[in-house]
Amino acid sequence: MQAANRLQKALKRGASAFGAWQMLPGTNLTRTMLRSAANIDWLLIDMEHGNISDDMMHEIIAAAAAYGVSPVVRVIEGQAWMIKRALDAGAHGILAPVLETEEDAKNVVRYSKYPPEGNRGFEPLLAVDKFAELHPHGGSVKQIGTIDYLQQANGSLVTAVMIETKSALERVKEIAAVPGIDVLFIGPFDLGVNIGHPILDPSKPEQELIDAIQSIQAAAHAAGKASGIYCDTGEQAREYAHKGFHMISTVTDMIALRKAFSQAFNAAGEHQ
């Protein structure tokens, strides 16, 4: 399983892993996005704020895995049934939003892991084929079975939690210390709002927000965990990679589509 989880392999190496963010439904969109660049390591399937249903989540996970890209689901909340649905569909990891305390983080781990580390129910029939190892030159496909999944899942799936509330920022060291949490992922827009320093100009975040982001990264590093952050542009993603962040989003479908259409039609109308 670990060999097929591109995101986890990058995190294990301490490398930066760049991801795309999908809010709109449709596997044709998924495939178009993933064909656009060879260095897309993971795809975030946004169930929290996106227009993606449960059945569409299943289809997008399958499409991403078929491209060798790790599908990661941002669940609506860190509830057991939501995490179960994502992982049983074959997600290579989950991202739980709106944490407040270390107890919330412990619950996310509990719902994400099989016993004895957690209490996730066992039925991976839909999940196993999302971890097939594809030979890069068209050779045989290495499949895993349900028992392989049971034995390997606890150590092969990425469990990430979002630090985006004032309470989570104040408890970030305790959250980072929770066993089983792999990534502290920063939602800068919600974090800015919740600490009273919203991002009004993405190119000029207030110093208090910059300091908060740095403190979250420092807490993750001190606990031996990876740090992640949401970015709107490749330039931002490169900047945070240079700062030592690991799980970094690079582009969101809705933002990229608006930008591309705006640029095209503005150029078309320049001389009218």
Q: Give the helix ranges, DSSP H, for the chain.
A: 6-13, 27-34, 54-66, 80-88, 102-112, 146-156, 166-170, 172-176, 188-194, 207-222, 234-242, 253-268
- Find tokens 């983080």 and name the residue: 105
- Beta bridge partners of residue 70, listed in sequence order: 42
Amino acid in the structure at residue 105: A
Domains defined for the chain, CATH in brackets: 2-260 (3.20.20.60)
Q: Give the helix ranges, DSSP H, for 121-231.
A: 146-156, 166-170, 172-176, 188-194, 207-222
Mean pLDDT by 10 residues, the chain (272 residues): 89 97 98 96 98 98 96 97 98 97 98 97 95 64 87 96 98 98 97 96 92 98 98 95 98 96 92 66
- The per-residue pLDDT for 2 is 77
Q: Which residues are known catalytic residues?
A: 49
- The per-residue pLDDT for 217 is 98
Task: Give this prediction's pTM.
Answer: 0.94
For residue 262, give both structure tokens: 């705006």
Cis peptide before 97 (omega within 30 of 0): no
Residues 6+ apart with CB under 8 A from 252: 20, 21, 22, 23, 232
Let me know how long the chain is.
Answer: 272
